[in-house]
Structure 1
Amino acid sequence: MQRFPTFRHPQRRPDGTTTPQQAPSAAESASTHLLLIPSYNPGSKVFDTVRAARREWLPVWVVVDGSTDGTTQALQAMADDDPGLRVIVLPKNLGKGAAVLHGIELAAHEGFTHVLTMDSDGQHPAELIPSFMAASQARPEAMILGMPVFDASAPALRVRGRRVSNWWANLETLWTGIGDSLFGFRVYPIAPLARVMRGQRWMRRFDFDPEAVVRMSWAGVPPVNLQAPVRYFTPDEGGVSHFNYLRDNLLLTWMHTRLFFGFLLRLPLLAARRYASGRGKRAGRQT
């Protein structure tokens, strides 16, 4: 008999986010929901990440995006001993978005409808995988977005800088409720994500996470925000970061420039959608 994570409706906070209720930590299985971990030169933290993910969910796929740090062979050895783990190896580095697209196309072919994406570097909270999956099962039409809760390990420059991207993402979606545009711990419905990505040539590298939520929102996929702690590891702790401040901020600037012009073209449709949504909510309160 198929087992699904138990889920209690989360409590809503004053800022509009919710805190997911803890689901059982035993590995859960679903024929519709897949856990996907794109991985590029992650260092040894990837093994802790994969083991933690497998304790919480089944199945788990790792897409190795042309890694050259020696982790590929060890991941394949792990998969040889674990039927719930699959390792997919891309011959060269194509970018996070390209790795996710490769994974979701395979997943759709095998009948999966939703995917939780999780970084390989240990920053994302594996213990919340069941709760996020359960939230998606309760709202299959929605994208479940992690809302990061930072601790003292978070670089102040990164925390402040993401506010700019978040502001632009909310403007470009006419404030439909994107809590955080950059946090990659999310559950996506596969079909609309694949359509959005196949429809244009962007969203293949670091720009994947923010562009995905904007374009998914344009496609009518509603966001649900759930809070999740994030941990930044120092190099002494095995942390690996591929973030380049100049290169990646230039990429984000170009991305938001493109999205802003797309937003202007879609503005009448987005405004009409927001108006209809507001009328529906008011009517619901009156009945």
Structure 2
Amino acid sequence: MTRTNREPVTRVAVLIPTYNERESLPGVISRVRASVPTAGVVVLDDNSPDGTGAIADEIAAADPSVHVLHRPGKQGLGRAYLAGFDWAMEAGFDAVVEMDADGSHQPEQLPSLLTALEDADLVIGSRWIRGGRVRNWPAQRKVLSVGANLYTKVLLGMHVNDATAGYRAYRTSALRTIGLAGVESQGYCFQVDLTVRAVRAGLRVVEVPITFVEREIGVSKMGKDIIREALTNVTLWGLEHRGRQVRDLVRSVRNRKRT
């Protein structure tokens, strides 16, 4: 592989959005700190009614590498991450990691994502490449995820196999390059949105295999509205992409005729 002259990644912030995750959060933070002791942890709590924010504050009081951003209420995954991105960039971090609070993203696999980030702008922990897998998923959910990612890959013309994946690492320089001001997507669509922006900006996007483990504690936040938003937006983006391709083809043919 050809190495590029990217700046070294020395300061990493692991962003963990939370809403009613008081039972799982302490263990996840402990595992992150054990796997990458030099990384900071930023809990993005949407005013969880179960007291997750208070527990996060207790952890932060005992560990200066843990920070908590308290948000006024449940506003969606996308807005939580955007707030975390802004905080991390202002604080001078070189990279940010997206990680679920329920343990489905294994902190022990974080070093492999950060190693890959040395020669990339965005690293996606992928379930759907060689070596990637999921545990404890019903067949229906697996079919839905594989089908959604195939639909996204074909319609948007991207090389990414798991664009909906939520375990990923960005260089903060990449976030500045793609621009975040116009991002309004929520849920899993947020992940597709930023992936598309990174690819269109010519950034280096790579995938590394992970094992995704279905949560054992708490309730999944996946709902019909999240699926509907993703399907609608990906379809619209795909039509726009294909429309540009047709326009470029027509323009190319006209130019050849003129010459």
TM range (shorter): 0.7 to 0.9
Paired residue for 2:28? 49
Distance 1:81 1:160 in 2: 43
Identity %: 25
Indicate conservation of the 8 Å contact 2:18/2:52, yes or no: no
Correspondence for 1:117: 98
CA distance in 2, matches of 1:100, 1:217: 19
CA shift for structure 1 position 103: 0.8
Q: Does 1:167 align with 2:140?
A: no
Residues 164 and 188 of structure 2 are in contact (CA less than 8 Å); yes or no, is this contact kept in structure 1? no
TM-superposed CA distance for 1:75, in Å, is: 1.0
For structure 2, the 5+ residue unaligned runs are 2-8, 250-259
Task: Find out whether 1:215 has 2:194 as its counterpart.
Answer: no
Aligned pair in 2 of structure 1 residues 265, 196: CA closer, same or farther (>3 Å)? farther
Q: What's the TM-score, normalizing by structure 1?
A: 0.75
Q: Which amino acid aligns with 2:232?
A: W
Query: 1:195: Cα distance to partner?
Result: 5.5
Q: Return the offset for 1:184.
A: 0.7
TM-score (norm 2): 0.82
Instruction: Give SS of 1:198's match.
Output: coil
RMSD over equivalenced CA pairs, Å: 2.4
Q: Deviations over 1:81-123 (max 9, x none)?
A: 0011111111111111111111111111121232111111110
- Matched residues in 1 for 2:33 and 2:247: separation? 42
Task: Mark the CA change 1:152 to 1:106 in structure 2 (over 3 Å): closer, same or farther.
Answer: closer
**d(CA) in 1 for partners of 2:208, 2:53:** 32
Note closer, same or farther for the CA distance 1:270–1:205 as it changes in structure 2 (3 Å cut).
farther
* 1:109-188 correspondence to structure 2 within 5 Å: 109-137=90-118, 139-140=119-120, 142-148=121-127, 149-175=132-158, 177-188=159-170
Q: Secondary structure at the match of 1:34?
A: strand
Letter in 2 for 1:133: L
Comparing 55-64 with 117-126, greater Cα deviation is found at: 55-64
1:146-166, CA deviations, whole angstroms, 9 ceiling, x for partnerless residues? 112334511222211112221
* Letter in structure 2 aligned against 1:35: V
In structure 1, the residue matched to 2:257 is none
